[in-house]
Amino acid sequence: MKDRNMAQICALAEKYVQEEQFSVFRSQVQDLLQQLRQNPDNKQVADELYERFYRSLAFGTGGLRGEIGGGLNRLNCYTIRKATHGMAQYICENVPKDRWHVCLAYDSRNYSDIFAKEAALILAANGIRSTLFTGLRPTPELSFAVRRLGCCGGIVVTASHNPAKYNGYKVYWDDGSQVVAPHDKGIIEKVHAVDGPLPVISEEEAVQKGLLHRIDKEIDEPYIEMVAGLSLRPEQVRQHAAGLELVYTPLHGAGRHSVETVLKKMGVNVFTVPEQAEPDGNFPTTPFPNPEIAPAMALALKYAKQRKADLVLGTDPDSDRLGIAVPDAGNHNEYVLISGNQLGAMLCDYLFLTHKELGTLPANAAFINTIVTSNLQNRIAQAYGVKDFKVLTGFKFIGALMREWEEDGNYQYVFGCEESYGFLVGTDVRDKDAVSASAITVEMTLWNLQQGRSLLEYLNDIYRRYGYYRETLIDHYFEGSQGTAIMNKMMDNLRADNPKSIGAIEIKAVKDYLARTTTLANGQVNQDIHLPESNVLQYYGTDGSIITARPSGTEPKIKFYASCASECKDLARAEEETLAKISTVEKFMHQQIETARQS
């Protein structure tokens, strides 16, 4: 206890108790302090207090994310207010006063509505006008609203697909994209500099002064119209949508109204999973409300089997990620979950092929994905004459390129995606959008059914044309005060000992995005990476395999990605080849995790 300077921890806790205005969070810390006073040797209480105060919850380049609760290292009303005050200070110093206007939204997570209102009132106390949705909304609609209302920024309260104990806070700039340089670092500096009492204004006073306004249908209706307008084959959709059997789950999140409204507008009969239809921040039917994983989609698949559905859709709590499942080609009573890489490849092919057919593909058309997303998508884009770009992980980097092209006119954005089930069609939104992705996926499904094939058959056709790709992702949580140190140690170990091979995969180059260098097998080092610095390592195999190590920027975990390819036209054999490679890579990944845990 002495080594951790518990006297300092207790002092921080006492100060927090004085500054936290929300009684639920304040009492949690008061109770811990009282228990420790009664029994100074209570290690369990001391550990808990330490975890809540050994650091302040980090405000990263995208905002905040952490466990809900009392303390500086937790998400609560005080940490939300402090972060917002820092953002407000940055706006006041860097944005003309006549543009001081921020839009706020929130999802279904516990306390999201309270946190969003707290943020709005801090902005108002700084003289910044706030527009707050009357109820929960998808994250992409917040991005749309920022652009449509001409706001200088936006805030959405969400922890995306994380478990119920988490919540978060994402910051957007005037283009509707999450903040990037120089605004990200500028806001972070202001947040870190916040000290002392925060400004206070009541909701009544904020409304009376015109600094707080509520919205709903003023944005809902044009957003839905925008999504509907993305359709490339509207006539075909009108003719055949009623025949599609579709099961949808919003996973207790914010997507239900928007997704159902858009799909019904298309003429699709939507069956929404009743147990997961209503918003609930406790996510009672699934501990991980993430459409990337099978357990979260289990209820939807149960209903799909009963209803013999043609397509299953799942959106995460803030409805920016889309997962799908389709009937198994060999057994129509079973369903196959499609990965984000696979759905991205199909959407790439469908969108570019359709634009080609219709003569609407711009001469300077561009496609963007991330450095950890399958190169199959890039091969597809290139085949249609579309310029492809790779950016760092995070949709904000896709948004940054979109903004750059708006200003210089060099390229016209058509589609972008990332392996973590994020897709964006069109330019009215600047973040991944599961609502519009749902609509385009339904259209793509209908088109394929009219061609007499399923989505699985379509995917296999893509593999035959461009090569077979198989990906895997292993992530491991390192909770608590030691988590960051363990992850950093793991990355240090990897940098200190570049492997010559991983299993049977011979490594020809290692890219270090922190040093922005590429090290070749012969030892030559090239300073050739022109993306921003990022704590990422990538191993390139002579066979085309790519293995990536990346600590998450928003969660206490490290992610290992692998993508292995085969040019074999016999898909069964190609699958066998790539699975064998994936197996050896997964062993390597688990070894790295275990070594770090033991060190």
| Residue of 160, 319, 436, 454 marked catalytic | 160
Question: 436 an active-site residue?
Answer: no
Q: Are 367 and 382 in contact (CB under 8 A)?
A: no
If we measure between CA atoms, which residue out of 132, 156, 109 comes closest to residue 429? 156
Q: At what angle do helices 375-383 and 455-466 cross, to 10 degrees?
A: 80
Question: Which residues does 418 contact at the CB level (< 8 Å), separation at least 6?
Answer: 340, 344, 369, 370, 372, 373, 393, 394, 395, 398, 432
235 by Cβ neighbours in 10 Å (0-12 / 13-18 / 19+) ranks as exposed
Nearest to 107 by CA among 76, 75, 142: 142
CA 146-262-348 angle, to 5 degrees, is 80
Closest by CA to 1, choosing from 44, 35, 32, is 44
Dist CA 328 CA 511 (whole Å): 38
Which backbone phi and psi does 11 adopt, to 5 degrees? -65, -45
Q: d(Cα 30, Cα 291) in Å, to the nearest integer?
A: 38
Question: Using CA atoms, how far apart are residues 156 and 179, in angstroms rounded to an integer?
Answer: 12
**DSSP state at residue 267:** T
DSSP string, 327-347: E-SS-TTSEEEEPHHHHHHHH
Catalytic residues: 160
